[in-house]
Amino acid sequence: MLTGIQIAVIGGDARQLEVIRKFTELDAKLSLVGFEQLDHSFTGAVKEKLEELNLSEIDTIILPVSGTNSEGKVETIFSNEEVYLTKEILSKTPPHCTIYSGISNDYLNEIIEKTNRRLVLLFERDDVAIYNSIPTVEGTIMMAIQNTDFTIHGSKVAVIGFGRTGMSVARTFQALGANVKAGARKSEDLARITEMAMTPFHLNELAQAVRDVDICINTVPVQIVTASVLANMPVHTLLIDLASKPGGTDFRYAEKRGIKALLAPGLPGIVAPKTAGQILANVLAQLIREDMKKRKGKTA
């Protein structure tokens, strides 16, 4: 249980509703910021404006998966009001206040450092990333079917990056009968690709690897699908970029060449918000319980 813990959920999409539901069941006290247009009400949760919060009592702040933008604006699907997380706001919280976000950026890192608060990035955790790869793969399959006029079975698919998401994507497309090649930098990843009966290629050879692909799926969050890579790609190729914004593709040049390139970050929240929200809720509950125990141990 999380009895007595004061949590501020600031912004977010449908995934946050599962987080809110989980924490009300665990008896936490919740302040919901950026949810005034949400019809549903939760027992033990109060909709508030950020300026009305008693920040001195907040033990935990939960941000959306996207955290903030470069100006501190927080995504609020259930509100028309603009919500900004600032250094001044964080400085009014107790020193033990922990901020949870999916990802971070320079702005969020800076205000965290200046206020000496603790930031936990959920998407850097292996468990969250692996669980999330399940709805991500399903969404990728959906996009591939919707945007092609050929079957996945028998098609030539290139997966760029063989991390937690890339591995799941490659394995699933292979299971559907695609001829999969996967690219990585680490020798152990290239060995694993071979062991899984796929065709490996080093990312330095990307421009050559995409010469004959029907579907190209990128998971690398830096611009790796450059103009020179796209110049070698067949015009009929469907390119799905799963990396966080702005993705790893030169979308301008892809459009110029006539290649259909789709940026698709956050697929779990789009195709399976309930499941994706439950994943976040379960991990957050575990982390906050651990945080509670540590604080109690220090004050005992």
Provide the CATH number for the domain around residue 61.
3.40.50.720
Domain coverage including residue 261: 127-265
DSSP codes joined into one string, 131-159: HHHHHHHHHHHHHHHHT-SS-STT-EEEE
pLDDT tens across the length of the chain (300 residues): 888 899 999 999 999 999 999 999 999 999 999 999 988 878 889 999 999 999 999 999 999 998 999 999 999 999 999 999 999 999 999 999 999 999 999 999 999 999 999 999 999 999 998 999 999 999 999 999 999 999 999 999 999 999 999 999 999 999 999 999 999 999 999 999 999 999 999 999 999 999 999 999 999 999 999 999 999 999 999 999 999 888 999 999 999 999 999 999 888 888 999 999 999 999 999 999 988 888 766 654
Tell me if 230 is assigned to some domain.
Answer: yes
Residues 131 and 41 both lie in one domain: no
Residues 119 and 138 both lie in one domain: no
pLDDT for position 240? 98
Count of the separate structural domains present in the chain: 2
Residues 281 and 250 both lie in one domain: no
Q: Which two tokens stand for residue 114?
A: 């200046």
- Beta strand pairing call for 73-74 and 118-121: unpaired
Residues 38 and 12 both lie in one domain: yes
Residues 237 and 288 both lie in one domain: no
Tell me if 42 is assigned to some domain.
Answer: yes
Residues 63 and 21 both lie in one domain: yes
pLDDT for position 291? 85
pLDDT for position 131? 93
What pTM value is reported for the model? 0.84
Tell me if 36 is assigned to some domain.
Answer: yes
Residues 143 and 178 both lie in one domain: yes
For the range 274-278, what are the long-range contacts, defined as Cβ-Cβ under 8 Å and sequence gap of 24 or more? 274/14, 274/18, 275/134, 275/135, 276/15, 276/18, 276/132, 276/135, 277/14, 277/15, 277/16, 277/17, 277/18, 277/19, 278/18, 278/22
Tell me if 1 is assigned to some domain.
Answer: no
- Beta strand pairing call for 83-84 and 118-121: unpaired
Half-sphere exposure of 63 (CA within 13 A, CB side): 28
What whole-number distance in Å separates Cα of residue 264 and Cα of residue 247?
A: 8
Residues 27 and 65 both lie in one domain: yes
277 touches 257 (CB < 8 A) = no
Q: What 3-state DSSP class applies to 253?
A: helix
pLDDT for position 298? 63
pLDDT for position 300? 45
Residues 87 and 17 both lie in one domain: yes
Residues 189 and 278 both lie in one domain: no
pLDDT for position 76? 94
What whole-number distance in Å separates Cα of residue 61 and Cα of residue 101?
A: 9
Residues 91 and 104 both lie in one domain: yes
Residues 151 and 279 both lie in one domain: no
Tell me if 241 is assigned to some domain.
Answer: yes
